[in-house]
């Protein structure tokens, strides 16, 4: 460590001490900083309040911040990825899912062995990401894979929260990340785990220095690289798991702190660990100070604040990396497996017709006989006013989501892209939930209107930030990851403060076609009539964009302008879809890929089949949601997640395996 680095480290220690004094003097009491410290030494009650209320919160914040920072540093070393952390690799989402799962079904195990539950969840999520990524070291691809795995675990968590609302009602605040401590119990539990794990990291830190030299060099120096990597992963996951156990999932500290330490000029892992302990603790304590400045009389999750503060840092890193990932992405692949198109589409039309008839015939608890269905459609106002538009809107929204996903995948040259990956769904959800919670008595028609405004505003932010890079595919994806994190944080804040209105918001967030009517269908039809001809007229140009930028420019295509047009069309389709039925993911991911594997990558061939597959996916999900637990309904978004998750895992593995060769 040189003189400059040493002075910066000493400065960070002094800053930590100042933040600590400010933090423990904060509270719901109205006394200022100096008055508080004077009263502490004069009033025994104030001293007890400091020792048994504010100090546990401060200490757990220091332990959690240090753990997250060191875990992030080790994960960045293991993956050689500057975007790696416990949150971006899905470790937090996996740990949180297992906590919710065991709280519902195995509460005794969750209460007795909490660290085992969170460790198992985090380990499974990490194994998923490493298995799916394979040997790829591309930082954006790893971050995207981690985001998809996070989406999968989060969708399962949302399903459990919705179906078992009473059992998990106490987990909303904890699930957003909070430093609230009623006594020293949490500190006493976490301290031995965290200190012993940090000590182990210091002992084996030289192994991590050698790993950075490259695998071949490390082996030449006699290093057992497998053991080193296993140690690094286990230490990182254990630190993250202990943190989740006591304060919940808190993101972005593990990304920001290691980068700040590197900016200080510190390179050896032993000193990096010590510096990350100080910087990580300072970051989390500073975030908690901000939380209590913003809302001094009520509790806001500190995890939400770290996400809101940390997302711009991720944007900064993305823009900083733009010169290295300018040509990222490649032409989308597919095979023409269908030769008799007329026969295939005839069979497909029959299948769609049967699915629509089955969906129309099922009521709340029973099926209507086929011979009686025409009579019901003509004379039963309930069927005509509610069931028919629900079936038609489900199929139509599925089509719109599928086309939106197709456009996104084409422009981003990535088969894992859709509106949810770009953060559009998250932005729409924030505004919809805000309306549901702040104005619970307002007509429900304002919810889709708010979602539409949120989606369009989010699109504007993404495009504004990424315009400098010429709307590079990988930059757009990283913008989406950052905005999704901010959106999720804001939603967590809203849900924590929602009280009795949380279940309605959760239902909308899960994605439900309940309550759609003919006005939704009319909007859908008008949108498709306007947008589909535009897509068809630019189909050849859009298809060229799926190739490398140099090829597109060589063919005379103005890539930035055409990308912008495709993104706008895709986002408008997604915004209308989300505004009608809520935050349904995976349809836009799965439908284009299924179609591409059947008819190849040519856009004009893809378009009709993608429309059909998207409609079938969402209508099937809606029918199963009404049928499986009738008369109780499961939101269609949850069913789509359950259908799409296994296929998406396969797709992730296949995509990353092919690209790493």
| CA 62/CA 285 separation, integer angstroms | 7
Of 238, 223, 186, give the one whose Cα is nearest residue 56.
186
Distances in whole angstroms, Cα of residue 242 to Cα of each of 113, 116, 120, 397, 556: 11, 9, 11, 42, 55
Quick one: pLDDT at residue 67? 95
Per-residue pLDDT tens digits for 623-635: 888 888 777 778 8
595 is a domain residue: no
Which DSSP state fits 381? H
594 is a domain residue: no
Domain boundary among 585, 616, 636: 585
**Does pTM surpass 0.85?**
no
| CA 165/CA 480 separation, integer angstroms | 29
Query: C-alpha 491: how far from its chain's center?
Result: 12
| CA 57/CA 183 separation, integer angstroms | 9
Distances in whole angstroms, Cα of residue 231 to Cα of each of 127, 130, 132, 225, 265: 14, 15, 20, 10, 25
Residues 6+ apart with CB under 8 A from 407: 535, 542, 566, 567, 569, 570, 573
Query: C-alpha 231: how far from its chain's center?
Result: 27
| CA 578/CA 190 separation, integer angstroms | 41
In which domain, by residue range, is 436 found? 401-585
User: Is there a cis peptide before residue 364, judged by omega within 30 degrees of 0?
Assistant: no
Residue 322: CB atoms within 10 A of its CB come to: 18
| CA 633/CA 627 separation, integer angstroms | 8
335 is a domain residue: no
Domain boundary among 533, 559, 585: 585
Beta bridge partners of 362: 367
The label of the residue with tokens 């156990």 reads 245
Give the H or E element holding residue 301.
none
Of 528, 612, 613, 535, give the one whose Cα is nearest residue 577.
528
Confidence band for 15, pLDDT divided at 50, 70 and 90: very high
Residues 6+ apart with CB under 8 A from 412: 329, 473, 476, 477
| CA 403/CA 624 separation, integer angstroms | 23
529 is a domain residue: yes
Tell me the two tokens of residue 345: 């589409």
Quick one: pLDDT at residue 335? 61
Determine what percent of the chain is predicted with pLDDT higher than 90.
21
User: What mean pLDDT, rounded, does the chain reach?
Assistant: 81
Quick one: pLDDT at residue 370? 66
Per-residue pLDDT tens digits for 599-619: 877 778 888 899 999 999 999
| CA 349/CA 250 separation, integer angstroms | 48
The label of the residue with tokens 């929260």 reads 161
Q: Highest mean pLDDT range out of 6-15, 365-374, 416-425?
A: 6-15
Q: How many domains does the chain have?
A: 2
281 is a domain residue: yes
Tell me, what CATH number does 453's domain have? Answer: 1.10.3470.10
| CA 68/CA 284 separation, integer angstroms | 9
410 and 313 assigned to the same domain:
no
309 and 418 assigned to the same domain:
no
Quick one: pLDDT at residue 17? 93
Quick one: pLDDT at residue 500? 46
15 is a domain residue: yes
Listed in sequence order, the DSSP H helices in 172-301 are 172-175, 185-203, 205-211, 215-220, 225-247, 253-263, 269-294
626 is a domain residue: no
Determine what percent of the chain is predicted with pLDDT higher than 70.
84
Q: Highest mean pLDDT range out of 166-170, 276-280, 607-611?
A: 276-280
Domain boundary among 548, 564, 585: 585
Q: What does the DSSP assignment read for 113-165? A: -HHHHHHHHHHHHHHHHHHHHTT---HHHHHHHHHHHHHHHHHHHHHHHHHTT
Is residue 307's pLDDT more than 80? yes
152 and 259 assigned to the same domain:
yes
10 and 141 assigned to the same domain:
yes
Of 122, 483, 76, give the one whose Cα is nearest residue 256.
76
Is residue 38's pLDDT more than 60? yes
505 is a domain residue: yes
Quick one: pLDDT at residue 328? 46
HSE, side-chain direction, 13 A CA sphere, residue 442: 16
Quick one: pLDDT at residue 345? 81
Residues 6+ apart with CB under 8 A from 118: 95, 98, 99, 241, 242, 244, 245
Quick one: pLDDT at residue 31? 62
- Say if CB 470 and CB 527 are below 8 A apart: no
Per-residue pLDDT tens digits for 567-591: 888 888 888 888 788 778 788 888 9
Residues 6+ apart with CB under 8 A from 202: 270, 273, 274
80 and 226 assigned to the same domain:
yes
């Amino acid at each position: 460590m040189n003189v400059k680095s040493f002075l910066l480290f000493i400065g960070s220690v002094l800053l930590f001490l100042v933040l600590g004094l400010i933090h423990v003097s904060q509270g719901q009491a109205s006394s200022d900083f100096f008055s508080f410290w004077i009263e502490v030494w004069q009033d025994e009650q104030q001293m007890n309040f400091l020792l048994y209320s504010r100090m546990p919160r401060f200490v757990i914040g220091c332990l959690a911040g240090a753990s997250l920072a060191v875990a992030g540093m080790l994960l960045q070393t293991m993956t050689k990825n500057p975007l790696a952390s416990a949150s971006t690799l899905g470790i937090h989402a996996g740990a949180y899912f297992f906590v919710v799962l065991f709280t519902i079904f195995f509460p005794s195990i969750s209460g007795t062995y909490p660290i085992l539950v969170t460790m198992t969840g985090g380990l499974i999520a990490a194994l998923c990401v490493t298995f799916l990524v394979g040997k790829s070291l591309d930082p954006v691809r790893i971050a995207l894979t981690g985001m998809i795995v996070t989406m999968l675990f989060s969708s399962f968590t949302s399903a459990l929260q919705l179906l078992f609302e009473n059992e998990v009602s106490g987990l909303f605040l904890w699930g957003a990340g909070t430093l609230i401590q009623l006594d020293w119990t949490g500190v006493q539990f976490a301290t031995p785990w965290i200190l012993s794990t940090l000590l182990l990291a210091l002992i084996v830190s030289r192994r991590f220095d050698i790993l950075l030299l490259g695998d071949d060099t490390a082996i030449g120096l006699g290093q057992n690289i497998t053991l080193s990597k296993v140690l690094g992963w286990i230490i990182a996951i254990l630190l993250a798991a202990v943190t989740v156990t006591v304060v919940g999932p808190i993101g972005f500290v593990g990304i920001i702190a290691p980068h700040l330490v590197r900016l200080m000029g510190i390179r050896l892992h032993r000193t990096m660990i010590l510096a990350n302990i100080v910087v990580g603790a300072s970051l989390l304590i500073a975030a908690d100070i901000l939380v209590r400045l913003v809302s001094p009389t009520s509790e806001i999750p500190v995890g939400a604040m770290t996400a809101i503060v940390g997302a711009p840092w991720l944007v900064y890193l993305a823009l900083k990396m733009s010169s290295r990932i300018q040509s990222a992405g490649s032409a989308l692949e597919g095979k023409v497996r269908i030769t008799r198109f007329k026969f295939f589409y005839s069979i497909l039309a029959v299948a769609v017709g049967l699915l629509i008839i089955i969906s129309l015939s099922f009521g709340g608890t029973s099926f209507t006989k086929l011979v009686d269905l025409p009579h019901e459609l003509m004379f039963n106002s309930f069927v005509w006013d509610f069931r028919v538009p629900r079936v038609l809107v489900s199929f139509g929204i599925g089509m719109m989501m599928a086309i939106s996903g197709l456009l996104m995948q084409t422009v981003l040259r990535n088969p894992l892209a859709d509106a949810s990956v770009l953060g559009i769904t998250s932005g729409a959800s924030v505004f919809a939930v805000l309306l549901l919670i702040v104005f619970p008595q307002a007509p429900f028609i304002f919810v889709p209107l708010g979602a539409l405004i949120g989606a369009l505003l989010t699109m504007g932010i993404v495009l504004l930030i990424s315009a400098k890079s010429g709307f590079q595919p990988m930059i757009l994806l990283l913008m989406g990851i950052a905005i999704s994190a901010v959106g999720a944080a804001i939603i967590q804040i809203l849900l924590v403060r929602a009280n009795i209105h949380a279940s309605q918001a959760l239902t909308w967030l899960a994605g439900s076609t309940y309550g759609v009517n003919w006005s939704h269908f009319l909007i859908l039809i008008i949108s498709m009539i306007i947008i589909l001809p535009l897509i068809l007229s630019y189909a050849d140009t859009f298809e060229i964009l799926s190739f490398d930028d140099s090829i597109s420019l060589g063919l005379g295509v103005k890539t930035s302008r055409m990308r912008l047009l495709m993104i706008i069309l895709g986002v408008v389709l997604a915004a209308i879809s989300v505004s009608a039925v809520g935050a349904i993911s995976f349809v836009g991911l799965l439908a284009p890929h299924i179609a591409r594997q059947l008819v190849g990558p040519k856009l004009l061939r893809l378009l009709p089949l993608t429309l059909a597959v998207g409609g079938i996916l969402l209508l099937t999900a809606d029918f199963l949601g009404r049928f499986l637990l009738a008369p109780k309904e499961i939101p269609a978004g949850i069913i789509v997640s359950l259908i799409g998750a296994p296929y998406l895992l396969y797709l992730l593995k296949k995509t990353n395996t092919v690209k790493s060769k």
